[in-house]
Structure 1
């Protein structure tokens, strides 16, 4: 039983490490842009949706934190922030007493930029009691009690798994002393082991019952992982438990390995899904502004051969009037149609997205001839004019401005500025058409 608790302790730490790695992966993505940009704040909500973490927050170097629910506050005084900002992974002590049988702690990790400099902290709260159930539910058919206890005897987390609680006090030392379930000598040895972080077990007798309680140091915050099981539940004398431990451990270890592998795969899957969601514009299903800028800039910097390309800036004509005459719901439908048309009009390797409002951007790659650009612009204008929405009042059209790479510039900022100038030339000439920038 002692060995089992030791192994489950390692499983607990492995599980926590998986959560750390998951948060670090999200943090690495977040560090590539402004910490509090819309992209990252949106990602926080997705993390909450797909994990058991709650109150998830991005925190800058000054302690300013933005939460998944939109709340903001300064946490510079919090110990978990002060530790994480030093480069440490943090599993905090409970910030408040257990509520509704839940004990929430904070997991936090530093966020590093590409230069390996700490730029912030990512953290969230976690119900550590759920983890006890996961780790111990296969041990002795889930009959027993799992708990985490501080070196001072305080209960950090307490979960009776398919059985009633055997401790009705917030402090184990006080409970053992009050009900005299251990002799003075046994209690003294028990306290010394906890203080010095040594594993072991005790035989607890009281109320005509006999239980075995094994404990082992977590090496996290001086906590001890404990597991108690009634002799009758264990079905065999304790001497047999020790002899049969290796057979039991083989089952437990396999179960835990499968559990950890499953958690790791799910977290990786969720992480990829979260990052994908964060890159997309929720309304139109194409890339959002931050992703557009990042992907186009990355492509331009990596295009050593300077293969020809074109940056399209596309605006919905008279979009305010569209909303005024038809309402914002119909206006959203117009934007969705734009997104679909753009996605279907360009190749998969082209970069298509919505920059915000009624403005769309496309970077068309691998252009063999400039005439292709004009044909594509004409095709877009025709497809946009063909949008049909029931009971729509007015006409739907677009204005396009185009800059050419590398003819007009080598970076996103330059191409964007020149395409914008061309776009306004189109609008000055009556809209519903396109203009290619000319020096």
Structure 2
């Protein structure tokens, strides 16, 4: 089989095939990587969103439970104070000595959390442990409730008397009975900030603050640390510029207050993000409210964020490893594809296109120096081998011939199969043509020793022709043409030999 080496279409098609294989391989890996990254991104997003929602839900649940417990504790503390007042009211109702009662009230005020203890008769006049009270109690709501036999709690404004300005006092009142009938009202003035701050002092490192608010938004009492910040501003007015969490608004909080419902809301104002938890107290439609920064409320879940960061780092490291492995596999596949595109499948030698490219690259490079030799070799009467013994024997003969050529020449020399039974050998940097002659003599003799197991009687010979650089040319086309002419001089003769081209 003869090749027309001037037909450059073959070369272009070969180059194009290699590039197409490389592009297909790259696209395949890029598509697989893109799908994997999308899947991984979705999984991580779902995971992190799920974790955040779980943290948010657990935080709000824990916050609601804490506020409910603290509200219950505050009510219990107030119940204790009511019991103290009721016990004293029973004593006062059992005797009528005002001075003795005043001394008793002074002693109780000194030993309890009450700031002032006052006794009012049914006409609204009264005295306290500090002396006469300059106030007519008949128009006060707590007085009206207690003379009806109820325990009552007043707002700070309603319980204020002269000298109480700027103080957060509420009034706890109980009826005083004499002879089975209500004879007056016993009132204890209580600093509500004390009762509201103590239960929350250990929560979230004390970073939150507490206040009591009525359903109309009136602030009944405020944590002393933040009282100036509020300065009697209505609850609804204070939070009107805040954004509430999903599905919530200031109106929904107002509805909860009006309906006596508890709740937890997420508040946002710029970078300020905090929780508002509220719980009805059971007195005067008051609500115990607690506000804490989101970061502090979720501090117990900080380890989850650390795990999220660690997981993210592991994922990034895994991606780097994955990309490295894929790059390695891709490079290996590309090398395999290039090798496959450059190699003759039958013999494992370079194919025609790659042989030409390799020789031209060597001739154009700087490493080529001195004499070079291009050898054309053809197996004699190879068509007869195929016709007589079959193509399987012919293929095996080609493989053994290729093995012989690889073993006979240096590893740095270029050996390729360029046609059915035609081979090219390019000897690099040889001292003179004597080495070419010696190698070809040995090669022709070695062919006599080749045996094919399926046809032991088969004897193979070869014909070879050589052209030298620079004497016969300096590019592949010239050298190939002249080596081919030299080889056919042998084939036209007795075959089984070689010839060095002579002009």
Q: Calculate the TM-score normalised by the size of structure 2.
A: 0.43
Q: TM-score, normalised by structure 1?
A: 0.49
